[in-house]
Structure 1
Amino acid sequence: MKVVYLALLVLVPGIAYGHTVDSVGEYRVEIGWLNSPVVSGETNALEFLASPLEPGLELEEQVFKDGIEGLRKTVKIQLVYKNETITLPLSAVHNSPGRYYAAVNPTVSGFYQANILGTINDTPINLSMHPPKVAERAFVEFPEPSDLELEQYIDEQRALAEDIRNLQRSVDGLGAPLAGIEYAGIGAGIIGIGMAAVALTRSKKS
């Protein structure tokens, strides 16, 4: 069994950019992300293509043509990330025989494994294939990363806490102590900053 990784954009008819090609029995199978580049946190889909192998050609010379219909109920994709798995049903692409997709939202960046399970006509299929890496969402966001609102909230809370401290200094200058409710306001502001900072740190690590 020979696997072809199409990591570079090549001008070969019938082959999609960033897809992986393999074979099982007399069939050529191809898998990849429907939308590229694929980033975490965005709805995407794994694209699956199946077609007969053309006799006399090496795997890297094979192209998708004469796609095989009727695999929606006989083939499934098991998507694996580290120790977590999910089984995704296939949907047929309208007016494009042999092309299928399985919708999924990859929430974490990194490498995923796609296990192709089932049968193509009477041929059992149990292949482990590897679509291109899922990129971290922040790397391609524009003009600002999605954490901008949280960072702005932290800045606002810090400004509010500073205003309360200035008020405290003014009151202290007049010789009048702050009431308990003012101290509670200061404490709430500090707690708010801490909670927002923790949330921001966790979001950047995920």
Structure 2
Amino acid sequence: MKVITVSVLGLLLSLGFASQAFAHTTVEVEPYKIEIGWGLEPPIVGIRNDIVFKITEPGEVPGQYTGVSNAFRNLEATALFGGVSKKIDIDSDPRIGYYFSPIIPTKTGTYTMDLKGEINGVPINVQIPVEDVESTAVLDFPPTSGSSNQDVTSLKNAISSLQRDVSTLNDGSENDGGAAYDFAIFGLSIAAAAIILAIIALIKRK
């Protein structure tokens, strides 16, 4: 029973690592393979993460690759987002060929890593996009956006109803200019004021 349990856990962990690596991007600059991605996936805006690098070269056995030591000795990494760039510091992972750089993504969207320099005399000049950073909505529980959307929909419906009522009152066939008309206008004014206050409260809550 213990063997089965350990096997199942191993399989789950393997699937987890496979899904994580699946989102990474790999480019080849002969003879090297450079793989880049996020340490935690999906990457969420405002949450500390790492840009992770895996740099390998062909091993002694055909088809197998081994990690490259001191790959960033003469290689610089720059994070790009839109028109903004930042040179990042690279730390070595205990595993040979693995490196990482701590980062807190502050905006959602696509980040790109620009690598320039050389590895053991081989020129490197590549830009590699990584998985898009997402908003906290993918992890929020309970959801925070549902009630806001419902409020906006309710306000839109109330405004539409108010516009229809005003159009009806302004119709000459139903407007006798008497006390009933004045009272109706007064009621609609109160409704309009309530809608305005609701909009202000909704904006402040966001």
- Flag whether TM exceeds 0.5 (same fold): yes
How far off its partner does 1:116 sit?
A: 1.4
How far off its partner does 1:82 sit?
A: 0.6
**TM-score, length basis structure 1:** 0.58
How far off its partner does 1:194 sit?
A: 5.6
Cα distance change on mapping 1:69 and 1:109 into 2, 3 Å: same
The equivalences for 1:138-177 within 5 A come to: 138-145=137-144
Q: Does 1:29 align with 2:34?
A: yes
Give the superposed CA RMSD.
Answer: 3.5
How far off its partner does 1:117 sit?
A: 1.9
Which consecutive residues of structure 1, in runs of 5 or more, have no partner in the other structure?
A: 1-8, 152-192, 201-206
- The residue type equivalent to 2:131 in the other structure is P
Instruction: Give aligned pairs, total.
Output: 143
Q: Distance in 2 between matches of 1:123 and 1:91?
A: 21
Q: How far does the alpha carbon of each residue in 1:9-56 deviate from its partner, in whole angstroms, 9 at most, with x for none?
A: 99998x92211111113111111111111111111111111111469x
**TM-score, length basis structure 2:** 0.58
Q: Distance in 2 between matches of 1:10 and 1:41?
A: 27
Matched position secondary structure for 2:67: coil
User: Which stretch of structure 1 is more off in the superposition, 69-78 or 38-47?
Assistant: 69-78
Which consecutive residues of structure 2, in runs of 5 or more, have no partner in the other structure?
A: 1-13, 149-198
Q: Distance in 2 between matches of 1:33 and 1:41?
A: 14
Partner of 1:187: none
Cα distance change on mapping 1:123 and 1:137 into 2, 3 Å: same
Answer whether contact 1:72 1:92 (CA < 8 A) is retained: no
Partner of 1:47: 52
Q: How far does the alpha carbon of each residue in 1:165-197 deviate from its partner, in whole angstroms, 9 at most, with x for none?
A: xxxxxxxxxxxxxxxxxxxxxxxxxxxx96993
Partner of 1:78: 78
Matched position secondary structure for 1:16: helix
Matched position secondary structure for 1:138: helix
